[in-house]
Amino acid sequence: MTAILDVQNLAVRFGPTLAVRNASFTVQKGETHCIVGESGCGKSVTALAIMNLLARNARRDAKSIAFAGQDILAYSDRQMEDVRGNRMAMIFQEPMTSLNPSYTIGSQMTEVLRRHHNTTRDLAEQRAIGLMQRVGITAPQMRLGQYPHQLSGGLRQRVMIAMALMCDPELLIADEPTTALDVTVQAQILRLLAELKQELGLGILLITHDLGIVARVADHVSVMYAGEVIETGRTADLFANPSHPYTRGLIDCVPVPGKIKPGEALGSIPGTVPVMKDGFSGCAFRFRCPQASEICTQAVPRHEVGPNHLVQCHLPSRQGGAQ
């Protein structure tokens, strides 16, 4: 298996606020990698940082962001434009507002293909119709001439997915694609993403705050807390052997482990995510951690607790685990 995306030590700051700190994870080809965490922990910012779509007041730093073996960190704006929408596509949390109200669905879908590939309008429309059928949009021919306001939220999100697939991307970043939709539509969209991954060999980076979704669709999970990836591993390993007190807390919040239903949100751990400012050191979770101790105010080491299963916590070393 080869990595389609490898992020090493990503950090994003808005002025003195550290939205993402030292985040590292890898997405393999043909697999779904979930990033999970509470609201405000920096999931969207991480996704936008990979796409280089951050707001102007943001500063991005990283050791490397390798996409299909290439370090895109060093890419110029023009080079990045050629990658975005083409080899790396993204769908957003807000289907209602993510399409331009002034242009037809057809115009917005064909535009991306014509931007990156030399093709005629007709061919682009053919492809759009094909993909709309694939993502389960009925009467695609008619939809081409419609405006976003004429479509329901679920349809719009399907349009967004079809649009993201127009150029056959190698990586699809989906930022909570189902949060704004009702439960049945949610399930359909998730099934669709899983099928697409199989069919097209896509790497999917799926962002969610819903452990139920993680359990159902993820091959690999990274848990984020206050801007850091505090545990990452294969889904089965992580659920079988959650090694970070925060991950354990999350899983314990769900009534019957293994029988997790979609729609079960996180956040039943007492306390809230602190906002990270310059000069913070030690473990960010120590204010809510039942196992916190003196040493937790010091820089936290990363341990390998299993194959491809990393955790960032003092516990393993305290319990005698080797560095």
Partner 1 sequence: MTRFIFRRALLALSVVMTVMALAFVLTRLSGDLAISIAGPGSTQADVEVIRKAYGLDRPVLVQFFDWTRLALTGDFGNSFFFKDKVSNLIGQRMPVTFTLGFTGLAVALVISLPLGILAALNENTWIDRLVSLLVMVGQAMPSFWLGLILMIVFGLQLGWLPISGTGSWQHFVMPAIVLAFTAVPALTRLMRSGMIEALGSDYIRTARAKGLSRSSIIFKHALRNAAIPVVSIAAVQLGFMLGGSIVIETVFALHGVGYLAWESISKNDFPVVQAVVLVLASIYIGLTLVSDILNALLDPRLRGA
Ligand X SMILES: Nc1ncnc2c1ncn2[C@@H]1O[C@H](COP(=O)(O)OP(=O)(O)OP(=O)(O)O)[C@@H](O)[C@H]1O
128, 140 in Cβ contact below 8 A? yes
For ligand X, the closer of residues 59 and 121 by Cβ is 59
For partner 1, the closer of residues 166 and 218 by Cβ is 166
Give the position of tokens 């991950």. Answer: 247
Q: Is 283 in the site for ligand SF4 (CB under 6 A)?
A: yes
| Among the listed residues 43, 116, 220, 314, the single contact to ligand SF4 using CB under 6 A | 314
Closest CA to 128 of 146, 149, 112, 150: 112
Among the residue ranges 73-81, 182-190, 231-239, 313-321, the one whose residues contact ligand SF4 (CB under 6 A): 313-321
Exposed (0-12), middle (13-18) or buried (19+): which is 2, by Cβ within 10 Å? exposed
Interface residues for ligand X in 47-106 (CB under 6 A)?
55, 57
Which of ligand X, ligand SF4, partner 1, none does residue 245 bind (CB under 5 to 8 Å by kind)?
Answer: ligand SF4
Which of ligand X, partner 1, ligand SF4, none does residue 33 bind (CB under 5 to 8 Å by kind)?
Answer: none
Closest CA to 177 of 205, 197, 146: 205
Residue type, 42: G
Interface residues for ligand X in 272-301 (CB under 6 A)?
275
37, 229 in Cβ contact below 8 A? no
Q: What is the C-alpha to C-alpha distance for residues 21 and 201, in angstroms, rounded to an integer?
A: 30
Q: Is 177 in the site for ligand X (CB under 6 A)?
A: no
Which of Mg ion, partner 1, ligand X, none does residue 14 bind (CB under 5 to 8 Å by kind)?
Answer: ligand X
Q: Is 317 in the site for ligand SF4 (CB under 6 A)?
A: no
Q: Is 212 in the site for ligand X (CB under 6 A)?
A: no
# binding residues, ligand SF4 (CB under 6 A): 13
For the CB of residue 78, give the shortest distance to ligand SF4 in the complex, in Å.
Answer: 42
# binding residues, Mg ion (CB under 5 A): 1
Among the residue ranges 37-45, 69-77, 186-194, 287-295, the one whose residues contact ligand X (CB under 6 A): 37-45
* Intra-chain end-to-end CA distance of the chain, in Å: 27
- 263: phi then psi, degrees, rounded to nearest 5: 95, -5
Give the position of tokens 């694609």. Answer: 177
Instruction: Mention every residue, 6+ apart, whose C-beta is less than 8 A from residue 248.
Output: 242
- Furthest-apart CA atoms within the chain: distance in Å: 66
| Among the listed residues 114, 291, 302, 304, the single contact to ligand SF4 using CB under 6 A | 291
Q: What is the C-alpha to C-alpha distance for residues 24 and 62, in angstroms, rounded to an integer?
A: 9
Q: What is the C-alpha to C-alpha distance for residues 138 and 143, in angstroms, rounded to an integer?
A: 8
Structure tokens, 236? 């089965």
For Mg ion, the closer of residues 44 and 86 by Cβ is 44
Interface residues for ligand X in 115-174 (CB under 6 A)?
none
Q: Is 13 in the site for ligand X (CB under 6 A)?
A: no
**Contacts to Mg ion by CB under 5 A:** 44
Question: Where on the chain is the footprint of ligand X (CB under 6 A)?
Answer: 14, 17, 19, 37, 39-45, 55, 57, 209, 275
